[in-house]
């Protein structure tokens, strides 16, 4: 038998001969993250060894620019040791890669025009940095603390971006990814991305922003393809007011083929997810809690919206797929939970309607949803003459004033209302409306044949 002492002697001999790594003979280091960081920084240029020091003076920005330019020419990353680095007017050349120690390497804006920008580069990477705008003034040509324009592949990874007097991060005509980052305290938007090319926005926290969280926009309507997934977004305000232009946690505008999936959104002044003139939007498996207006919106000139598997708890309206008069059409609203709505919104307008679970107008299937505790209508099918090819099937509506309000105005198109369960309706399960005014008795049992555009039957009314 081999004794314990003999075994240790054999291990030591093997290590001396190169058979085992030296770390096998010692306890693991107390700071594993530091060990991993050091290994990952081999081959980088240490900014501290080139005169860039924490709390440096007026020459700090110039020195840092020189280090960045040198590293980019050599295709090497710049490592920024822990500390506060007051800098401004950093124009990043192609190939810039800056990394630091998460939470400890801080670029603090010293307030002389702009902080970070890049234009026309193929690749820019920022990782493991705190980028602090210190709530200082940005010049009129600078829309954001981090401004990237025309970048083929931009990466912002594991960064903290705080304290911008305008927007925190703005990408224009750029592709790449922003991930695992914390964006907060922006007076305008957390992320504003316009005319993107294959952008991914994943795993971020965006909170305490004045007028919007994540905005995916285009100057002209067209294919965008951005993926917005797995983000946590909360406390998004609308300091500019309005009726939905501001105050949205995720906002798509003219951007087609965008996926918004698996996000956790709470306390947005207006919508959790608002898609305006955005075709082929997939909005799936999101948590939307405490929205001030309509939680999930597909509106204006769009064709194609798939809204499925979302949870909406607390809003003025739940899910709206509307504006057939502007070309809004073609959607599925399936397998969502919508509950605990309120009858008031963030503005007062005579034509505004609040307290509706699911509203749709054209070429849309509403199926498999559960709608509970809504003060007005569980479902609203059409508005005035704006109704065409709507199916409401296999839904459950509980505790509402009216289970399903369907338009009976002249010129309205067809609707099929079947196999739904209505429980606890105050004024009826299915009621015909002329605009906002009730115009019929109960239609839910299918024994009323006065409206040829409606097919109603096999509903359960309790």
pLDDT tens, position by position, 60-119: 889 999 999 999 999 999 999 999 999 999 999 999 999 999 999 999 999 989 999 999
- The CA distance from 209 to 229, in Å, is 19
Tens-digit pLDDT profile for residues 117-176: 999 999 999 999 999 999 999 999 999 999 999 999 999 999 999 999 999 999 999 999
Work out the burial of residue 221: count CB atoms within 10 Å of its CB; fewer than 13 is exposed, 13-18 middle, 19 or more buried: middle
Asked if pLDDT for residue 25 goes beyond 90, the answer is no
8 Å CB contact between 335 and 368: yes
What is the value of pTM for the model shown?
Answer: 0.90
As a whole number of angstroms, the distance between CA 254 and CA 262 comes to 22
**How far, CA to CA in Å, does 172 sit from each of 139, 152, 184, 186, 195?**
18, 10, 20, 18, 6
Long-range contacts from 434-441, C-beta under 8 angstroms, 24+ separation: 434/384, 434/407, 434/408, 434/409, 435/383, 435/384, 435/407, 435/409, 436/353, 438/402, 438/405, 439/408, 440/408
Both tokens assigned to 51: 């005169």
Q: What is the mean pLDDT of the chain?
A: 91
C-alpha 363/C-alpha 386 separation (Å) is 11
Per-residue pLDDT, 16: 39
List residues bridging with 402 in a β-sheet.
Answer: 377
As a whole number, mean pLDDT of residues 336-365 equals 96
- Cα(211)–Cα(273) distance, rounded to whole angstroms? 14
Query: Angle at CA 204, nearest 5°, toward 114 and 128?
Result: 60
Provide mean pLDDT across the span 286-291. Answer: 98
230, 203 Cβ separation under 8 angstroms? yes
Tell me the C-alpha distance between 250 and 229, whole Å: 11
CB neighbours (10 Å) of residue 21?
Answer: 9
Closest residue by Cα to residue 338 from 363, 319, 365: 319
Q: How confident is the model at residue 58 (pLDDT cuts 50, 70, 90)?
A: low
Q: Is the pLDDT of residue 28 over 70?
A: no
CATH code assigned to 111-118+127-461 = 2.160.20
Mean pLDDT, rounded, for 300-315: 98
Q: Is the pLDDT of residue 8 over 50?
A: no
The fraction of the chain above a pLDDT of 90, given in percent, is 87
pLDDT of residue 344 exceeding 80: yes
- What band does 450 get if pLDDT is binned at 50, 70 and 90? confident
More confident residue, 348 or 33: 348
Which residue bears the tokens 């026309």?
120
CB 361 within 8 A of CB 329: yes
Where do the domains of the chain lie? 1-30, 111-118+127-461
- State residue 42's pLDDT score: 62
Q: Give the integer Cα–Cα distance in Å for 366 and 230.
A: 26
Q: How far is CA 282 from the centre of its chain?
A: 13
Burial 65-89 (b: 16+ CB within 10 A, else e): bebbbebbeeeebbbbbebebbbbb
What does the block give as tokens for 417? 């209302």
């Amino acid at each position: 038998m081999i004794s314990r002492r003999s075994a240790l002697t054999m291990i030591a001999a093997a290590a001396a001969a190169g058979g085992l790594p030296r770390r096998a003979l010692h306890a693991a280091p107390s700071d594993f993250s530091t060990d991993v960081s050091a290994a990952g920084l081999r081959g980088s240029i240490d900014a501290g060894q080139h005169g860039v020091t924490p709390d440096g003076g007026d020459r700090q920005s110039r020195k840092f620019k020189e280090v960045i330019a040198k590293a980019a020419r050599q295709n090497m990353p710049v490592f920024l040791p822990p500390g506060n680095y007051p800098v401004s007017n950093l124009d990043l050349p192609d190939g810039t890669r800056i990394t630091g120690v998460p939470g400890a390497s801080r670029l603090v804006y010293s307030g002389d025009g702009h902080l970070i920008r890049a234009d026309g580069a193929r690749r820019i990477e920022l990782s493991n940095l705190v980028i602090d705008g210190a709530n200082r003034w940005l010049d009129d040509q600078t829309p954001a603390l981090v401004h990237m324009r025309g970048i083929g592949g931009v990466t912002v990874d594991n960064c903290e971006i705080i304290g911008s007097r305008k927007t925190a991060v703005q990408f224009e005509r750029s592709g790449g990814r922003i991930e695992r980052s914390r964006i907060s305290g922006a007076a305008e938007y957390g992320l504003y991305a316009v005319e993107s090319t294959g952008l991914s926005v994943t795993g971020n926290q965006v909170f305490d922003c004045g007028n919007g969280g994540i905005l995916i926009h285009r100057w002209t309507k067209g294919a965008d393809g951005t993926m917005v997934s797995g983000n946590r977004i909360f406390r998004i305000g609308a300091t500019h007011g309005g009726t939905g232009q501001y105050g949205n946690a995720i906002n798509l505008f003219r951007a087609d083929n965008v996926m918004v999936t698996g996000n956790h959104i709470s306390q947005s002044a207006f919508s959790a997810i608002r898609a305006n003139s955005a075709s082929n939007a997939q909005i799936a498996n999101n948590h939307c809690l405490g929205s001030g207006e309509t939680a999930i919106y597909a509106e204006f000139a769009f064709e194609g919206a798939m809204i499925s598997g979302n949870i909406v708890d607390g809003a003025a309206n739940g899910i709206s797929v509307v504006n057939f008069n502007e070309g809004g059409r073609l959607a599925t609203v399936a397998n969502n939970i919508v509950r605990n709505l309120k009858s008031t919104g963030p503005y007062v307008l005579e034509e505004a309607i609040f307290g509706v679970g699911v509203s749709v107008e054209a070429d849309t299937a509403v199926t498999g949803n559960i709608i509970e505790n809504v003060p007005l209508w569980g479902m609203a099918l059409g508005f005035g003459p704006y109704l065409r090819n709507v199916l409401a099937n296999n839904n459950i509506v509980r505790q509402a004033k009216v289970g399903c309000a369907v338009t009976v105005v002249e010129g309205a198109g067809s609707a099929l209302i079947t196999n739904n369960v209505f429980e606890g309706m105050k004024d009826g399960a299915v009621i015909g409306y002329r605009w906002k005014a009730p115009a019929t008795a109960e239609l839910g049992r299918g024994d009323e044949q006065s409206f040829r555009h409606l097919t109603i039957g096999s509903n359960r009314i309790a």
